[in-house]
Amino acid sequence: MKNRCKIFLSAFMLMFAIASFVFCVEKVKAADEQKFTQEELVSLSKPSVVRIVKHIQGEAIFKPFSLDLDKLTIIEGGGEKKKIPIDEYMNGSGFVVSNDGYILTNSHVISNQQIKLEIVASVAQAAIMDATLFSLDVNQETTEPEKFEEYGKKINDYLMKEGVFNFKENIVVLDPSSKQEKVVDLVADGFPISVVSINNDFDKDLMDVALIKIEQKNLPALPFGQASLFKVGEKIGVFGFPSTAELNNKNLLVSTFSQGVISAIRDSENKEFSMIQTDAKISEGSSGGPLLNERGEVIGMITYQSNILEGSGGDNFAFAIPIDVVQNGVKKFNITNNDIDFGSGNYNTEFSKGLRLLHESQCKKALLSFEKTKDTNDKFNASINIEPYKKKCQDLIVAGKSIDTRWDKAKQMLLSLEYWVWGVVAALLLIIIAIAIKLFMMKKRLEKDEKEIVFLEEEIKENDSRDLEEMKEIKKIEKELAELKNNKK
């Protein structure tokens, strides 16, 4: 009996093993399907990426000065002050992080500090060129580069302190649905911003993060990934508005997607946080764009590129601030009393859900999810990106390939199993069949043994009954003999 229980238990465990194995295979496949294709990643993320334009007008004023490159000093002079007129359009990228209008970007995209740094750098470079003509030792820079680097910082600090900057600025997020082509007209059509968080010392502490808000609702926000989970070698995507990708002024609202991998994780220059290095192509204008993983989640914000930072040629690498660092920085430099709530909102949640259902050919459910995104702000062109997937679902339904019931799902799961999975299942089934045959044979043997036992038990009972009768006869005879003896006496 104990052996029979053990065999039944073994058979049950094997059946359970087969079911668990098939389930695990499906779970692994499902995990892989959580990742989106490049086309899906673009469709999902593109409406959330915006172009930010800053129009600055005014002037910068500097007192006369000269440089002594031999003594590495700054000489203040007299005379008329130098006025530099400013009328520039500066571009950057950003991405929507909540459906009620919050947008992340870099501080240098919206801060006046950036234009000041650029003007000061230009003035300092011109002064150095002038001073080089009168220097007694024009090779000193090459022999003592560290001293000249320190001297250059001293010049910049002097100009930033002594310079007078009179600026008037207008910062807008361009309307993605605008039909204008000229920058002036696009800015006029744009969404005015309010600054929520900004760090004007980004050039010193490198925490180049900012948060702005536009008065628009139901925006297609991007979700955040877990920054701690990214790894070197992981595939990523970058969205933005790089200036090197613009052939003309007719496509200023078309963002650029580029793919790459995480090349390294490096410490920031001040070693206060890590930076994500990637080989994805970026250029001026990409700053503030999102760094996305294959699940469509933001894991970082593009901030600068290597050849700009180092002044060198060769390969160009992009550097992004991890999204958890961005969030902490935004909260730290919040200049309002507003509570900042980052959330992906309805668009990304339902679109992502619909794509995953489409991966499983559950088209009726996918269409329901796609339909729930219809309230997304029309100005961000979300519906254009969803329509191709709606059509794909409708085509599958018409072709009878949509999986909408449990039976359809079970059938599809079995049909989608790999050959090697079927091999393993077949081997396990053969083992179960062998066990079943063994059980059947043991059952037959047990039945035969049980019959023999019953027969023997019956024979024993008959023998016992016969013996009992004989004992009664013997006792009777003994009694009669005893009575005869008594009579003779």
- Work out the end-to-end distance of the chain between its first and last CA atoms, rounded to an integer number of angstroms: 66
254 and 322 within one domain: yes
Residue among 212, 224, 205, 207 at smallest CA distance from 323? 224
364 and 328 within one domain: no
Positive or negative, the CA dihedral 175, 181, 184, 188 is negative
Of 377, 399, 415, the residue at which a domain comes to its end is: 415
Strand 73-76 to 235-240 pairing? unpaired
Quickly count: other Cβ atoms within 10 Å of residue 248's Cβ: 7
Q: Is residue 94 part of a domain?
A: yes
Supply the pTM of this predicted model.
0.76
Burial (0-12, 13-18, 19+ Cβ within 10 Å), 314: exposed
Q: What residue type is 288 in one-letter code?
A: G
278 and 255 within one domain: yes
- Coil, helix or strand at residue 424: helix
Q: Is residue 437 part of a domain?
A: no
Q: Any idea which residue has 């999902």 for tokens?
A: 44
287 and 179 within one domain: yes
The H helix count followed by the E strand count for the chain is 15, 15
Query: What CATH number is associated with residue 52?
Result: 2.40.10.120
Q: Is residue 150 part of a domain?
A: yes
The angle, 0 to 180 degrees and rounded to 10, between the axes of the packed helices 2-32 and 419-488 is 170
Q: CA–CA separation, 122 vs 340, rounded Å?
A: 38
77 neighbors 158 (Cβ within 8 angstroms): no
Positive or negative, the CA dihedral 14, 16, 19, 25 is negative
Q: Is residue 268 part of a domain?
A: yes
Quickly count: other Cβ atoms within 10 Å of residue 93's Cβ: 29
Q: Any idea which residue has 């088209």 for tokens?
A: 363
Q: Which helix (H) or strand (E) holds 247?
A: none
316 and 217 within one domain: yes
Q: Is residue 487 part of a domain?
A: no
152 and 130 within one domain: yes
Q: What backbone torsions phi and psi does residue 100 show, to the nearest 5 degrees? A: -105, 25
Number of domains forming the structure of the chain:
2
Longest CA–CA span in the chain (Å) reads: 175
Structural domain harbouring 388: 344-415
Q: Is residue 59 part of a domain?
A: yes
Of 375, 393, 415, the residue at which a domain comes to its end is: 415
Q: What residue type is 209 in one-letter code?
A: V
Q: What backbone torsions phi and psi does residue 58 show, to the nearest 5 degrees? A: 150, -150
pLDDT tens string for the chain (489 positions)?
545 555 555 555 555 554 554 444 444 444 444 789 999 999 999 999 999 999 999 999 999 998 988 888 999 887 888 999 999 999 999 999 999 999 999 999 999 999 999 999 999 999 988 888 766 555 554 457 788 888 889 999 999 999 999 999 999 999 999 999 899 999 999 999 999 999 999 988 889 999 999 999 999 999 999 877 788 999 999 999 998 877 677 788 999 999 999 999 998 888 889 999 999 988 888 999 999 999 999 999 999 887 554 444 446 789 999 999 999 999 999 988 777 777 667 899 999 999 999 998 999 999 999 999 988 999 999 889 999 999 999 999 999 888 877 665 655 555 566 667 667 777 888 888 888 887 878 877 887 777 778 777 777 877 777 777 778 777 777 777 777 777 766
DSSP letter assigned to residue 250: G
Q: Is residue 485 part of a domain?
A: no
Residue among 237, 221, 228, 240 at smallest CA distance from 340? 221
Q: Is residue 139 part of a domain?
A: yes
80 and 58 within one domain: yes
Q: CA–CA separation, 143 vs 63, rounded Å?
A: 31
Burial (0-12, 13-18, 19+ Cβ within 10 Å), 301: buried
Residue 168: both structure tokens together: 């008037």
Positive or negative, the CA dihedral 411, 412, 414, 415 is positive
DSSP per-residue string spanning 2-50? HHHHHHHHHHHHHHHHHHHHHHHHHHHHHHHTTSPPHHHHHHHHGGGEE
269 and 365 within one domain: no
Q: CA–CA separation, 97 vs 219, rounded Å?
A: 9
Residue 150: both structure tokens together: 């320190």
Q: Any idea which residue has 């100005």 for tokens?
A: 379
What is the model's pLDDT at position 22?
A: 46
What is the model's pLDDT at position 172?
A: 97
From residue 112, alpha-carbon distances to 85, 155, 200 in Å are: 15, 19, 8
Residue 473: both structure tokens together: 């006869």
267 and 231 within one domain: yes
What is the model's pLDDT at position 102?
A: 95
325 and 348 within one domain: no
380 and 288 within one domain: no
389 and 322 within one domain: no
Of 415, 430, 461, the residue at which a domain comes to its end is: 415
Q: CA–CA separation, 265 vs 456, rounded Å?
A: 83
